[in-house]
Each structure stands twice: as structure tokens, then as C-alpha cells.
Amino acid sequence: MARVIVDVMLKPEILDPQGRAVQGALGRLGLEGVTSVRQGKHFVIELDGDLDSDRAAALDRLAGELLSNPVIEDFTLTVVDA
Amino acid sequence: MARVIVDVMLKPEILDPQGRAVQGALGRLGLEGVTSVRQGKHFVIELDGDLDSDRAAALDRLAGELLSNPVIEDFTLTVVDA
Amino acid sequence: MTIDTVDRAESSPDVSQPYADLGLKDDEYARIHEILGRRPTSSELAMYSVMWSEHCSYKSSKVHLRLFGEKKPETDALLVGIGENAGVVDIGDGWAVTFKVESHNHPSYVEPYQGAATGIGGIVRDILSMGARPIAVMDPLRFGPLDAPDTARVLPGVVAGIGGYGNCLGLPNIGGEVIFDPSYAGNPLVNALCVGAMRHEDIHLASAKGVGNLVVLYGARTGGDGIGGVSVLASETFDAEGSAKRPSVQVGDPFMEKLLIEATLEVLHAGLVEGIQDLGGAGISCATSELASNGEGGMHVWLDRVLLRDPTLSPEEILMSESQERMCAIVRPDRINDFLARCAKWEVEAVVIGEVTDSGRLTIDWHGERIVDVPPRTVAHEGPVYQRPFARPSSQDALQADGPGRLARPSTPEEIRAAVLALVGSANLASKSWVTSQYDRYVLGNTVLAQPEDSGMVRVDEVTGRGVAVSTDCNGRFAKLDPYAGAQLALAESYRNVSVTGATPLAVTNCLNFGSPEDPGVMWQFAEAVRGLADGCLELGIPVTGGNVSFYNQTGDVAILPTPVVGVLGVIDDVTRRTPMSWRNAGDSIYLLGDTRDEFGGSEWAHLQGHLGGVPPRVDLGQERALSRVLVDGSQSGVIRAAHDVSDGGVAQALVEMALRSGTGADVSIPESIEPFVFCCSESAARAIIVIRPDQESALLALCNDSAVPVMRIGTVTTDAHLTFGSFGFPLDELRRVHESPIPAALAG
Amino acid sequence: MKIGVVTFPGSLDDRDAARAVRIAGGEAVALWHGDDDLHGVDAVVLPGGFSYGDYLRCGAIARFAPIMQQVVDGARGGMPVLGICNGFQILCESHLLPGALTRNDHLHFICRDQRLRIENTTSAWTTSFAAGQEIVIPLKNGEGGFVADDATLDALEGEGRVIARYLEINPNGSRRDIAGICNERGNVVGLMPHPEHAVESLTGPTTDGLGFFTSVLSMVGSSR
Ligand SMILES: Nc1ncnc2c1ncn2[C@@H]1O[C@H](COP(=O)(O)OP(=O)(O)O)[C@@H](O)[C@H]1O
Ligand SMILES: [Mg+2]
């Protein structure tokens, strides 16, 4: 079994209203000195069998096409267990 | 400067329709053998100065009270740079 | 970072500037030199390039749009005409409404969710900037074929974006259109309309009056959004360069917009605002130059005071940024603290960035250095104007000659039944509830009619029941066959849709979606459509109050169907008198008003046969006016109990929609004088189906007689769940299944 | 008889809720999220909308608004509180009600006229209804799927604290078709559909929503 984590974040130059709302709330709730909060998506994907290079390549492609929108988002992909 | 990452996921027993939709789409787009997809939130929080133990404790508390809802969600908190 | 100042521009006349990359032509750049008497600074170049883009300057369309003013009908209703952010009409009792439709086509193709969402955001701010509270939105949409792969990507994203933004603002979505045609496959149309209401005394204009008054920028912080978007995204096709620059996609923040609405209405009603302008395309460049140009003529701005989301932005970028959810207000110095406090209450950031002067110049400083010194009119209002060549395409004759007469026509009852069923289940005529159920139509508690009714209707005054109705329409196929008539048919349909609900049509807005203005054939379509619309409005006696032009809607060299979307707004004294689209009482009589002719050019039936040719249905605006009179008088006198417009798909489609809306059927008999297929499916204009109590027949005939509207009894409402046309019929279950399944089925998964 | 309607930044149905209170015969009092005073109201409505944009999680940020401490204290003291849609989410986030509301199972926002069955006619907000009465009121939400663990669900059912259930279709994947619940005492009610949009036949599908407001008015009235 393989487990892959994909984190998708808005590109740094794109407005992140969600992160801003969280930043404001953290401040109001007494956490000081928060300079930035960005909120993204966290996918945990489990696959049966081993993650061979074909499937790894497919995952990488789909992380950029399906899980994220390259016009506004970046992603990072981490293989936890191959 | 300190950077903290909080990942929030629905508890395993809670249905995750978004994850299920992604799982279906991955299959249709040619990735085989995906046995599970769960979708959660990924927060990247930046703080100025060092993360002293007071602020670390406050963050931990807020991750459980604000960033996640303990009725349905679990969180993990990772300090990337203290 | 070296700053290009006015001093530097004077001392270095020969620096070469990237004006061409910014979309300026050689002669336009030369004109800037002439205006300034020197080369522009890079900030000035940024301002001119963005303000002189097609999108902001209307340089290709201006010469034609003038017709709307020249042919404006006599009316007392128009309080503010074309040229402001949106026109304002008097609806009586001291109430005024403002409405306008705009396009967000290209951004919605690149990023459907955010493109559509920010389209709603932009039009809502336009309405807000007139001093009105936004009270409803609508969304005329056009996509490629329902089964095209890109439609599955674009449509759900667009709908989610419109819903996501509009629902979060708390504005009911009361109507729109969803139309499919191959010509939109590579270039969907996402138009957004907003209606706002205000008391007469609350009308505000975008002008910077009063020397010494302060210029306040408030709302979201300025970021790198959509820089170059105006000139690159809107005036060239989207695959051209662009991506090398800052991201041209903007992300909307509807929560900020909601706060901006509440804060703005609060400062307006407290009397704290002298002039106000929204920030849309061209951002600060547009707002400052337009405010100055419309007011005292001078303004000074300290650009470094602008609150930034991204501290690395250069002054040129700040001037061009299209960050959403921002507004600009002119405030007297003695009122500024009150203004800022009310913004703070709503957690909206606000900062004074400038002041009104009598210098006749717009001057902008960056950390003490002068980077802009221009006459504001030359930026905002005296941009280039082109008389683009236009010519009727040589293919037009062949197109019109190839009429639908050559198509095999259904003639037996079985064939006609099948044809009707095919129409009922076609993408364009199928139920759009997959889309509309994602929109909140209830919020604000004033929605009297919404989809699938013929027009959206909202109550404006809770005490008197005064309200407005709005519809948007356009059949691009009619416009392709004859753009002059097509524009008039769009107007006529929208006018009729307002009339059937019992409201009196009052004013018109439009969104003119066309291909490239550099193509003489497209320019001809545009000129003809504008002429048709202007003539039509004059004949119907309702003025154009504003609108929007979207050019360059094409894939490669192939333009979209010419699509002049027309929105008509009507007023109704008492919304409890509205006419619903369908029957409720068994035994009521059903009538067809208007003449039915053999007219299938551009029809939905021909479209289903894969045919587009011939000429569109005949336009008779005198007849439309007469029909409207019958519908409105019949509603007010209580004679008419239900009324539904006959258009796409013809009489059969209209009756199916009525039966499905009510849940009970009708017995309809096809008159002997008409070929059955023509009766069922022809798309002749100036027609409506109405329902009355049987004992009201003589009253109805008198009404029709007075207005010379042809009238014919065609059927009776029944209690059972069948719709019959004499020799054939349908169980409502079957109709419902066929009508409701196509869109969900195509978009499932 | 004063019923407070709280406006948070991003509340949308606050004016509608106030209108419903007036039509039902009560006096509506506007309450501001930043106040820490309930201005002497007898009951509170937390209206629908997107408080703080609902960007983090519906109701998550509104829960911490200053007025919520007053609402929580009042509720614990028996004051009637009705949370509609976003208000329901806020009540769950505030732990005045159990469970949570999650993304609709079909992943779309949905606006429809929804048939419900009233399952509890003893809560502060449902006494005007007949047991088992079926009503139709608008529903509109993106995150309306009620979830709780089985023990909690069993307890809710066992104690008669499910106040309304979806009929015909389950529009959002709620466990056991739950549309609304109340606390043990019955004074705090959370409801996903919108009764305030069904108080005038002109603008609503029915006037069935009025019953929620007349219930509390009769209760508050009779306790005087
Ligand atoms: N097709 C049109 N018909 C009538 N008026 C139009 C049309 N297109 C644009 N206008 C008017 O021209 C003016 C400028 O339009 P625009 O630049 O889109 O305004 P804004 O920048 O406020 O959105 C507005 O008053 C608008 O109503
Ligand atoms: Mg404007």
C-alpha cells in the first residue's frame, strides 16, 4: 500500500480571503504576532500495491490538473509510503 | 520568524464527500488502484519572532478550537521553523 | 527600483518604451506625446494604455453607441442616462432603480469559478456606486454544446462561482439564461446583471467636486491581481502572451464585498459622501481619472499611501491593479473622521490617498516624487475613437437564401409529438434547475417571481408593494441571420417577458457580445445590432440606460454568434397583482394572443436539425406594444390569471412549461386554419399564451379588440396529469422526465 | 415581547428574520455581533448567512463574537434561541447543540422548497405545530449535512430532540434525515431550512414558517 500527500496552496501572489479571515480570528483570540496565514487543501491518497513510476507520474500529472488549478494554485506532492 | 503548519482532517468515521468525489475522478482519469482519498485543510501560519512556549500552547489550543471542530475533525500541528 | 518621474521623462526624451506590449498603437503613443508635450512616464504610460484599451475606452464601439443617445425616446423616467456607472430610472413614489449587465467572458474561460464570481462582484459595485442598495442579480450564460468536454469544465465552475459569490452577498438570483451553441465552445459568455434600488435623493455620481475634499480608497488591499488584465485579457484573445506577466486571474472575496456594501450604504445614508466610484477594470487609474474628469478637473494623489497586499508592487502596477472589492469616495475634510469610523465598524480598511484640486491636472506622487501629471479628461474620456471598417459579409446572402424550407417536416401526429418531445428535452429548452437550484432566490424576502417564470420580480417597497421585473434575452442565431432584426427580437422578447408578468416595461440595458471588431463582417454585425436596438427602443418608447460591449469573443478566426443580450426592466405598482406563468384552476380557458406564421429560420427546431439559415421571424414592434398593453391591462383589471411568453420552441413548448409549472394538464385543440406543426413549433414573435376564467371571455375580447391583438381560444385547463393536443398528447410524468434530465445527466460525476 | 436578531458581519437573512418576527406579532430588536448586551430581549434568533464569509468552517469564527457569550449564558438560563442555517452551525460550534454540519454530500449549494415533518411540538419554537405536521419551507445551504456519532444520534432520537426531518428527499446527506434539533431543555433549536422565508404567500412557497415564530411568542407571552 502506498500513501501520498498532496498539499495545494494558492500561489503567493493570489489573494487568500480564507487565510486572511483566519489570521484576523487568531489575532482576536489572543495569539499575537501572526504575520500571515494561508489556507490550502490537504489530500491524503491511498493506493493499493506499490507506487511504480507510471502511477507516480500519473499522480504528479493529476495533482497539477485535477487537484489544483495551475492558473492560481501550486501543489507539493509527498510520497509517505511507496 | 516561526512557521507552523496545521493539517485538519475529518475524523475517519465521518463521510468525506469531497474526498470521495476526488477518488472517483482520479479513477476516471486513469489512475488505478486508488483505495481512499480524504480531503482536509492545510494552514501555513507565520509568526514574527520566536515561537516561545506560551505562543506554542496558544496555537495548539486554537488549532483544536478554531482551526478544527473536535466533533468531526482531527488536527496535526507541525512547527517547521521555531 | 528606479522610479520614472516626470522630471526624468523631460530629461530623457529618447528612452524607448514598451507601449506596443501594453497594447498601444504607434499613433496612440504619439498622441500621448502630443498631449503631454513630452514622453509619458512609465506610470502615465500604464494609465493611458489601460484606459485606452478597448474594454475601458470603447474605442471601436463609441461611434455606434452614440445612436442610443440620438434615438432616445421621450421619457420622464430617466433620471441618469448613459455615461455613468449605470443609468437610473424613476419607478414612482420617490423610488428609483438602477440596473446594468456586464460581461466577464474571457476571465471565466480561464478560471471559471473566479472569473464568474468576480463578474458578479464587479457589476454589484457598479450598482452600489450609484448610491443604490443592490437587490437582485441575474446571469445570462452561454456555453458550447452540453456534451462538449470543455462545457463540463466551464459550466459547473461558472455556476458555482456565480452562486458562491452572489449567495454570499445575500442577493437573490432572480433569472438569467443558459444557452448552448457550438460557437461558444472556445469562448463561453458569462454576463452578469445587477439591479439596485434607492430613494431619488440618494442618487450619487462619480465626480470629484469641491476643492480640498479628500479622496478615500476603501475596501480590500491592493495586490497584483489582473495587472495587464484589462489590456491583455480583454482586448486580445486569452492565449496571447499574458501569462508571463503577473497572474491575470483575480480571486474574489465576497465577504469583503458584503462588508463593502454595508459600509458604503451606511456612509452614503449618513450624508458623508460627495462623489463615489467603484474600482473595476483599470483600478486606481480609472477611478481617479474619471472622478477628476467628471468633477472639479483636478486631483492630487499620494500613491504610496495605498494599502498593499503585496509590498513589492511598483507604482505602475498599483495604478493598473484590478484587485477586487475596492471603492473610492470623495469626502469633505470635516466628515472624514465619521467616514473612517463607519468603515472601521464594518472592519473595512480605508485610507485617504488624495485630494481634489482646481489644477485641471491629475498629479500623482510616489514618496515625494511626481510620477504622473496629466489632464484627466485625456485619460478618462478623450481616448481614441475608431471608425472601424465594416461590411456585410459576402456569405450573408447565401446564409439567408438557405432557408429551413428544405428540411423534412414532421406532419403526422406521431412525428409532431416526437418533434415536440425532442424540443422539450433539448439542451436549450430543458429545465435549467440544475443551475438555478445552486442560487439563493429567497434571500432578502422580496422575491415575488424567479426562475422558471418569464421575468424575475422583486418587491421594492414593502408598504405599497411597488416592485420591478427584469428579463434578459437574446437568440444569437436570429442575430446571425439578421443582426438588425435579431437585436430587435431580443429586445422584443425581453419586453414581452416583462409584460406577461403584469409589469410595464420602462428601460433597457444591454451587453453586446461580439467577435473581433477588426473583422469588418463582425463590425457590420455590431453596427446593425446597435442600429436595430436603438430603433427598436425608440419605437417601444423605452430608453437604453447603459450597458457593456465585449469584443474579441472568438476561437481562432471564428467569431461567436453575434449575441446582443438585452435586459428590460419594468415597474409594477403592486406586486400582489403579478401574473404567474401558469394556470391553477381546472376549467379555465387558454388563449393564444398574436399571429402564428410559418417561421422556422433560426428556430430551435431547425437548430436541432443542425440547420442555421434563412431569415428570423418577422419583427413587428407595434404589435409587441399592443400585446404588452393587453397583458398589463389584463393583469391590472384582474382578467388575466396566468400568462406565458411564446418564444423558443413555440406554442407547444410554452404549454409544456406551463403544465409542468402547475402540475396539472390541459386539453388543447389545434386550430384548423393552421398547419399543426406550425402551430406547435413556429417561433413567430409578438405572441403569448394567457389563461382566464371562462366568464371573462368578453372582457378579454374587448381588451384585445381595443389594441388590435389577434386572439384565439386554444384550450381548457384540466384536472388530470395530461397535456393533449387533440390527436396526440403526453403524460406530465413523461414530459417532466424528458425536460428535467438532460442537464443533470450531462454534468453528473 | 422582544426577539433579538443578531447581525454578524456576513449575516444575510437578518432582515428576513426580523420581518418574520414582526409578521408573527413580535417586536424585532437588531443585535450587533460586537455588543455584549442583549438589550433586554426575551428570545434570540441567529439568522442565516455567511458569518465572516464562513471561510474557515461555517460558524467557526462567529462563535467567538462578543454577543455569543451573552447568547450562551442566556440559553443556559432557559432563554429561547433559534439558529437558522448559519445560526444552526453557530449553535453547534458553540456547543449549545451537539453534532456538526458538514458539506452537502452532493457538493453543491442547494436552494429548494423542502418538505419537512415536525417531530417535536414541545420545544420553545415548535409548539404551534401539530405532532407529525408536514410543512414546506425553503432550504438553502452548502454545508447542511448534520452529523454526530451514533450514540449522540440515538440519544437525540430517544429524547425526542429531533424537531424536524426531511421528507421526500434528503437534500444534503444529513444523518437520519435530520433537519433540526433542540437541546435537552427545548429552548435552543437549530434548523437548517429557513422558516423566515415562508411567512408571506407573496414571497414564500407557503406561510408554514410562521409557526416557529408564533410558538416562541406564545411561550414568552404565557410565561409573563
Ligand atoms: N452596449 C452599451 N449600451 C449602452 N451603454 C453602454 C454600452 N456599453 C457601455 N455603455 C455605457 O458606457 C459607459 C461606460 O461603460 P463602462 O466603462 O463599462 O462602465 P463601468 O466602467 O462603470 O463599468 C457606461 O455608462 C455604460 O452603461
Ligand atoms: Mg463603473
ipTM: 0.92
C510 lines ligand 1 (CB under 6 A): yes
Predicted local confidence at residue C1, as pLDDT = 57
Residues C420 and C282: their CA atoms lie apart, in Å, by 49
For residue C452, whether the previous peptide bond is cis, meaning omega lies within 30 degrees of 0, is: yes
Inform me whether the C-beta atom of residue B27 falls under 8 Å from chain C C-beta atoms. Answer: no
| Per-residue pLDDT tens digits for A38-79 | 999 999 999 998 888 889 999 999 999 899 988 889 999 999
Tell me the chain D residues in contact with residue C254 when contact means C-beta distances shorter than 8 Å.
50, 53
Residues B40 and B72: their CA atoms lie apart, in Å, by 12
Distances (CA, A) of C108 to C118, C159, C165, C335: 9, 10, 14, 40
C-beta separation of C734 from C659 below 8 A:
no
Coil, helix or strand at residue C319: helix
Give the dihedral sign, CA C539/C544/C550/C552: positive
Tell which residue, C526, C446, C434, C474, has the closest CA to residue C146. C434
Under DSSP, the state recorded for C409 is P
Residue in the block written with cell 440544475: C434
In chain B, domain spans: 2-81
Residues C408 and D24: their CA atoms lie apart, in Å, by 61
Distances (CA, A) of A11 to A14, A68, C112, C416, C429: 5, 11, 17, 56, 40
Q: What are phi and psi of C12, to 5 degrees?
A: -130, 70
C-beta separation of A80 from A4 below 8 A:
yes
Residue type, D51: S
Helical H segments across chain D, by residue range: 14-23, 66-76, 86-93, 150-158, 210-222
Under DSSP, the state recorded for D90 is H
Note which residues in 53-82 of chain D have CB less than 8 A from chain B. 56-57, 60-61, 64
Residues C168 and A18: their CA atoms lie apart, in Å, by 14
Under DSSP, the state recorded for C229 is I
CB atoms within 10 A of CB C434: 22
C-beta separation of C567 from C468 below 8 A:
no
Question: Taking CA C317 as the corner, what is the angle to CA C312 and CA C319, rounded to the nearest 5 degrees?
Answer: 125
The CA C292 to ligand 2 mean position distance, Å, reads 14
Nearest beta carbon to residue C249 from set A21, A24, A72: A72
Tell me the chain C residues in contact with residue B28 when contact means C-beta distances shorter than 8 Å.
749
C84 lines ligand 1 (CB under 6 A): yes
Residues C89 and C80: their CA atoms lie apart, in Å, by 7
- Chains that contact B by 3+ CB pairs under 8 Å? A, C, D
Tell which residue, C627, C524, C636, C506, has the closest CA to residue C569. C506
Tell me the chain A residues in contact with residue B26 when contact means C-beta distances shorter than 8 Å.
45, 62, 66
C-beta separation of C616 from C529 below 8 A:
no
- Chains that contact C by 3+ CB pairs under 8 Å? A, B, D
Task: Catalogue the E-assigned strands of C367-503.
Answer: 369-374, 447-449, 456-459, 467-473
| Cell, residue D89 | 452551525
C-beta separation of B27 from B34 below 8 A:
yes
Q: Indicate which atom in ligand 1 lies nearest the CA of residue C85.
A: 22
DSSP C512-529: EE-S-TTSHHHHHHHHHH
Q: Indicate which atom in ligand 1 lies nearest the CA of residue C68.
A: 4
Residues D13 and C172: their CA atoms lie apart, in Å, by 11
Active site positions of D, annotated: 85, 194, 196
C-beta separation of C145 from C182 below 8 A:
yes
- The ligand with the least distance to the CA atom of C327 is 2
Tell which residue, A69, A76, A8, A74, has the closest CA to residue A42. A8
Given 3-state DSSP classes, what are the helix, strand and coil percentages for chain C, each rounded to the nearest 5? Answer: 40, 25, 40
The CA C123 to ligand 1 mean position distance, Å, reads 11
- Chains that contact D by 3+ CB pairs under 8 Å? A, B, C
Predicted local confidence at residue C247, as pLDDT = 60
Predicted local confidence at residue C243, as pLDDT = 33
| Per-residue pLDDT tens digits for A7-35 | 999 988 888 999 999 999 999 998 989 99
Coil, helix or strand at residue C257: helix
Distances (CA, A) of C219 to C121, C327, C340: 13, 6, 11
**Residues of chain C falling short of pLDDT 50:** 229-245
Coil, helix or strand at residue D68: helix
Within 13 Å and on the Cβ side, how many CA atoms surround C735? 27
Predicted local confidence at residue C83, as pLDDT = 79
C68 lines ligand 1 (CB under 6 A): yes
Residues D205 and C102: their CA atoms lie apart, in Å, by 31
Count Cβ atoms within 10 A of the Cβ of residue C307 and give its class: 0-12 exposed, 13-18 middle, 19 or more buried.
middle
Please choose from C50, C82, C474, C545 the residue to mutate so as to test ligand 1's pocket, defined by most ligand atoms within 8 A of CB: C82
For β-strands C275-278 and C326-331, DSSP reports them as antiparallel
Predicted local confidence at residue C149, as pLDDT = 87
Pick the CATH number of A2-81 from 1.10.760.10, 1.10.10.10, 1.20.1300.10, 3.30.1280.10: 3.30.1280.10
CA C668 to chain centroid: 36
Nearest beta carbon to residue D203 from set C167, C170, C448: C448
Residues C16 and C8: their CA atoms lie apart, in Å, by 13
Tell me the residue length of chain B: 82
Nearest beta carbon to residue B21 from set D98, D102, D107: D107
Helical H segments across C276-323, by residue range: 283-294, 315-320
C-beta separation of B82 from B51 below 8 A:
yes
Helical axes C149-169 vs C112-128, angle rounded to 10°: 40
Predicted local confidence at residue C248, as pLDDT = 66
Structural domains of chain D, ranges and CATH numbers in brackets: 2-222 (3.40.50.880)
Residues C292 and C529: their CA atoms lie apart, in Å, by 33
C-beta separation of C454 from C648 below 8 A:
no
Nearest beta carbon to residue D16 from set C164, C444, C576: C444
Residues C486 and C162: their CA atoms lie apart, in Å, by 28
CA C623 to chain centroid: 26
C-beta separation of C565 from C175 below 8 A:
no
Predicted local confidence at residue A79, as pLDDT = 93
**Residues of chain D falling short of pLDDT 50:** 223-224
Residues C68 and C192: their CA atoms lie apart, in Å, by 21
Helical H segments across chain A, by residue range: 17-28, 53-62
Under DSSP, the state recorded for A65 is I
C-beta separation of C203 from C128 below 8 A:
no
Active site positions of C, annotated: 55, 104
C-beta separation of C426 from C146 below 8 A:
no
Asked whether the beta carbons of residue A15 and residue C310 sit closer than 8 angstroms, the reply is no
DSSP C526-565: HHHHHHHHHHHHHHHT--EEEEEEE---EETTEEPPPEEE
C-beta separation of C188 from C158 below 8 A:
yes
